[in-house]
Amino acid sequence: MNSAVGTAMGGAGVAVPVVPVLRSPFPSRVNPYSGQAEQQALRWARRLGLVRSHDLAALAGQRFGHLAGRCHPELAPAPLSDVCRWYVWFALLDDRYCDRGAPAEDQLARRLALLSRVLADGVADEPDPLAVAAADLSRRTRRRATAEQYRRLVLGFQATFFGLLWERAAREPSATPGTVEYLGMRPYTGALPAFVTLTEIFSGRPPLPQDVARPEAQALVTRVGNLIMWQNDICSYPWEAASGRPVLSLPTVLEQGGAVSSALALERAAQMWSAEVDRYRQARADVLGLGVPALRRYADRLEDLLAGFLTWHYETARYR
């Protein structure tokens, strides 16, 4: 970790905090079919009306094929393309409904309710491209998932929708969420439960549901999510601060809660992230110590997911 603290002078002499660089301490492999998966996902997004032709270059710059390929380095081309479609779909949902030009709160609630129903039923009864795409993803994923896995996937996205509604309210000027509240909700705003279940579904040979529910496995998932979400908050801080919208992230809640400068808040967030790396390693050791082969595979795939996101955050144009 490069934990330089201070400020640099930006345009017009404005002081900009120096953002710590949190490189992944875990090696990340890249699936050789990453480029193919991205091209198929981009064509899919254009065909279903998720993006227009002139938006494809910007979407390609976000490198979701690389993200899918890093998080799933051993997948065959077809399942890797489906994972990439999920990543593209959620990013567009987040942009369209929650971040950039988001609809009014009541409209957002209705749109998320629609998507919740589509994911559960696999049928889109409205022409909304995000709903049509969700129905297509549902059909593709049901072929690979057990009924219990797909049930958890839907519940994971429903928890995410709740998190996005909370985030919308928490961004209001009158709202001042504390650090404890923010940390409790961050896994849901980032779709962690859904992405973890997708990893389980597409990796094959899953552990038993009761093994996934073990406290050791759940602690490992929590540590994975913290490292991904906190690094994302720190990496995206300059872009969010420059957006002109209210910023809600780990550095900002630390800044507001501790009445400290943005530079010091960023440093404290980086220190939290570094300490979480050690907690993650212990949580992984606890899972491996259970001696359950399926849980070992589960922990290995979670490490691929973790290393993939931690590396991709520095490769994508999404936060620039």
Structure-token match 């780990």, residue found: 250
Q: What is the CATH number of domain 27-312?
A: 1.10.600.10
Residue burial 169-181, b: 16+ Cβ < 10 Å; e: rest: ebbeeeeebeeee
The model's pLDDT over 45-83, given as tens digits with 9 standing for 90+, comes to: 999 999 999 999 999 999 999 999 999 999 999 999 999
pLDDT of residue 137: 98
The model's pLDDT over 162-194, given as tens digits with 9 standing for 90+, comes to: 999 999 999 888 898 999 999 999 999 999 999
pLDDT of residue 173: 84
pLDDT of residue 9: 39
Residue 259: Cβ within 10 Å count: 7
- The 3-class secondary structure across the chain, one letter per residue, is CECCCCEEECHHHCEEECCCECCCCCCCCCCCCHHHHHHHHHHHHHHCCCCCHHHHHHHHCCCHHHHHHHHCCCCCHHHHHHHHHHHHHHHHHHHHHHHCCCCCHHHHHHHHHHHHHHHHHCCCCCCCHHHHHHHHHHHHHHCCCCHHHHHHHHHHHHHHHHHHHHHHHHCCCCCCCCHHHHHHHHHHHCCHHHHHHHHHHHHCCCCCHHHHCCHHHHHHHHHHHHHHHHHHHHHCHHHHHCCCCCCCCHHHHHHHHHCCCHHHHHHHHHHHHHHHHHHHHHHHHHHHCCCCHHHHHHHHHHHHHHHHHHHHCCCCCCCC
pLDDT of residue 104: 73
Entry pTM = 0.92
pLDDT of residue 300: 98
Contact 39, 65 (CB under 8 A): yes
- What stretches in the chain show pLDDT beneath 70? 1-16, 99-103
Residue spans of the domains in the chain: they are 27-312
